[in-house]
Structures are given as C-alpha cells and as structure tokens.
Amino acid sequence: MFLGIDVGTSEVKVLLLASDHQVVAVAGSALSVSRPHPGHSEQAPQDWWAAARKALGQLRLSHPAEMAAVQGIGLSGQMHGAVLLDANDQVLRPAILWNDTRCAAECSEMMAEMPELADLGGSLAMPGFTAPKLRWVARHEPAIFKQVAKVLLPKDHVRLMLTGEHVTDMSDASGTLWLDVRQRQWSDALLALTGMTRDQMPRLVEGSEPGGRLLPEVAAELGLPAGIVVAGGAGDNASSAVGMGAVQPGQGFLSLGTSGVLFVVTPSYQPNAASATHAFCHALPGQWHQMSVMLSAASALQWVADLLGAANAGEVADKAAALGLQDRAASPLFLPYLGGERTPHNSANLRGSFHGLSFDTDAARLGYSVIEGVSFGLRDGLAALNAAGSEVTRLSLVGGGARSAFWAQLLASALNIEIVTHADSTVGGALGAARLAWLATGASLSAVCVPPAVVASYQPLPDEQALLAPRHARFHHLYRAD
C-alpha cells in the first residue's frame, strides 16, 4: 500500500493506493479560509495537520490492515503559501495563501529591480507567489520577519509534523520565485531580492525521491509502520499530472478546482513571461512543465450557488445543463475575475462582472454564465500556452469540476480539444502523491505512472462551437472595456 496526502485549500484529502493501481480508500477533512482584509487569504498551518490527522484517523478505523501495510507516504499541496517558522519551528503568523493579493506592489518592485527574474524563476512576479509575500512581511511586519528561521510550503509543514525535517521538492519550490528553475537549485540572487538566505530554505529533493522518514510516535498514532519513506512529493498540479500519467512531453491536464489550471509537460525549461504563463520543474527528475493559471474556477460556481441559495454547486450545474442552445445564447456573459487574475492578464485588481442581465435571467442562466465564463478564461490560458510553445490535443480533466459531464463537454467545445475523464479524476493530487511515494520506494516510472482508464471522452461539438464563438469574441471585448 502507498499513502497520498493532499493539502488543499478547502480540504485535506488522503488516499490509499494498492500496488495493482486500485484506489482502496479515500477520506477527507474540510478546511476554512480566513480573509481578514480585502485581498487577504490565510490559513493556520496547525489546521492542515489537524485535518490530516482526522482524515488519516478515518482510514485507520476503516482500513487498519491496509494502513499497517503502507510502504511509503507522498505529499501534495496547494502551492505558494508562506509558512513562517521561528528557530523552534513555531508558527509565527497565519500562512499567506496562493490566492492572496496583498503584495502586488512588492511584485512590481521586484520586476523593476531584477528584469531577468522571470527567466531565472520561470514566471513573472505575481502576488500569489511566496517570495513577494516575504517582502511584504518585511515591510509591514518587521518584528515577525526578523524571527523567520525557516519558510515552508503548506504540504511541507505537514511533512515537518510527519518527519521532523525541513524538506521541499522541485515542483513546489518552483512556485516560490526563489528557485533557479533551469538549474533546480536555490538562487542566491532571487533570495537576496527579498532579504532571504539559503539557510532559511528547506532542503531540496526531487518529488520521487525520499524526503524524510516517518517518526515513530506519529506512526503509532496513525497505525502506520515507523520509519517508512516520505517522498519529496509535489505541488498540487505536478502531483495531479503524475496521478493522471502526464509524465511525457505534450501530455497534460486541466484542473477545475478552486483555481483553474492548464498543465502541459515540456521537454525542457521553456519560460515565456510575455504570456504570463509559468515554467516550473515537474515532480520527476529532468522534466519541466508549462502552466497557465486562473484564480477563480470551480470556486466561481460555488460562489454563485451560495448567492442563489442552492444546496451545492452541482445543483446549479445541473440546471445549467438542462438549458437549450437558445437559452444559453440569451444568458449573460460572465467575466470570472472574482479575485484578480494570473494568466493571461496578471492583474491583482481585476474583478468579475455579469453583462446582459435581464428579467429573464434565472438561476439556470446565471449558472451557465459562470460555467461558460470560466471556460472562456481557460481558453485564454490555452492560447497563452500555445504562444509559449506548447502543443496539446487532449487533456485529462481533474478536480471537483470533473464531476460535471456538462462542463467537460463545454470545455471540449470551447478549447477545441478532446477532454477525457477518469475514475479517479477528482482525487488527482492525492493519487499523484501516492504514486510519488511508490516511486520513492524504488519502483520504476513505467510501472507506476500509467494513465488511468478513461471513463468518458468529450469531443468538440460544431453547434456548441457556433454558439460559443461570438460569445467569446464579446467576452474579450468586455474585458478590454472593463
């Protein structure tokens, strides 16, 4: 057995994987996000560990024999979050998350001071990244900044609880803007830009390599064997790629989670700052990937579901799916920038809007507008990846949005590519983490990273594309007008 732990924004999810590739069990524990000021997004690192313990406790109760047979643990997690620790590994303040936009000014300063930053770090300086967060802390919370002995990423704080070690992997480290992504090592020049040093960074390992051993006392609590390997793991997107078997150039996936991500494996390091894409290390040695990111994806559908008083986002999606083409054409257009945007606009101040509201607008049309608007944002992201040199004809759909066949079909038509779903599409990050644990025990890539069976395939539909084409053109016009 192999155990994957995925530290998400809304949930910590854990997964047991057998050596015949069968997912034996999945459990989760919900998380909440604190927004103390406009543009701020924080979580208490202690909550991730508490949620992980709760979810793992569920597995111990339901599958004690399988937990006792676990040979390795892998970690996946939300990227970019800044966990600040003092010399005694005590948390100094709530973690500043990936969707926090408070440090936009610091990003502008960093780009002005080091124009070569994007080539070295793989991306433009954006507010979600870790490095500008520390520059913000230095300016606004200097007493805390002076106490920072280590900076960890979210999944690596859970690793600290599991192993007692400060370690991260190349894919997650790529999202800090402190890594020389081409050389796969910390950059003294990038660290100096935010007043940091290598001593404050965790040890670097590849995602498929050992990144610590499970502490005896933790093993006893969770019903796991003491001393088993804890793999380097990966940022959530690279981990999802491993889970979907996207480990060769040209392979990729589309994630519909809190954020929306297009991920394509590349044969080499291919930065392209002009298109506001990210060029990061993959979770596997000697591999890189390109990524476009939009900040509000399935979370936008949940937002409108909450406004409408719906039981859940799925209820709104079902109502939208029942609309005919004529009703869709009469639906408002939605700009999905509820909390700023990354690719391709790179603006922390951008905000969302509905256009074309009328007395005929009902819950179904609003739901459709949001699903379509997010799909248009992802289409813009794919165009940015194409401009950066990536080519892709098929994408696996992962994340919570993968539950909607309607949305999968709309994405196929909007992006003009084949979209496929898998039985384990909603647990991609946790599945990838378990696979990385498997690799860290010495297993081969060909034996572990096989693509999961396709459950459904969605091809572009001409009548749907005929509907979407003029609406996408209007969508772009509205963005420029705003």
Residue 63, annotated as binding a ligand? no
Strand partners, 264: 252, 290
H/E segment holding residue 293: strand 288-294
Q: What gap in Å lies between CA 83 and CA 427, rounded to an integer?
A: 25
Which of 211, 213, 136, 139 is CA-nearest to residue 177? 136
Is the C-alpha dihedral spanning 115, 117, 122, 127 positive or negative?
A: negative
Is the C-alpha dihedral spanning 224, 230, 236, 240 positive or negative?
A: negative
Give Rg (Cα) of the chain.
21
Residue 79, annotated as binding a ligand? yes
Q: Pick the catalytic residue: 6, 236, 380, 424?
A: 236
Q: Supply 207's token pair.
A: 């995602």
Coil, strand or helix at 117: helix
Q: What gap in Å lies between CA 371 and CA 447, rounded to an integer?
A: 37
Strand partners, 152: 83
Instruction: Count Cα neighbours of 279 within 13 Å in the Cβ-side half-sphere.
Output: 27
Cβ(410)–Cβ(266) below 8 Å: no
Cβ(89)–Cβ(160) below 8 Å: yes
Query: In the block, which residue shows the tokens 């940022």?
Result: 235
Active site residue 180: no
Is the C-alpha dihedral spanning 286, 255, 106, 272 positive or negative?
A: positive
Q: Supply 298's token pair.
A: 């399935």
Cβ(346)–Cβ(294) below 8 Å: no
Catalytic residues: 236
Binding site: what residues are annotated?
A: 79-80
Binding site for substrate: what residues are annotated?
A: 79-80
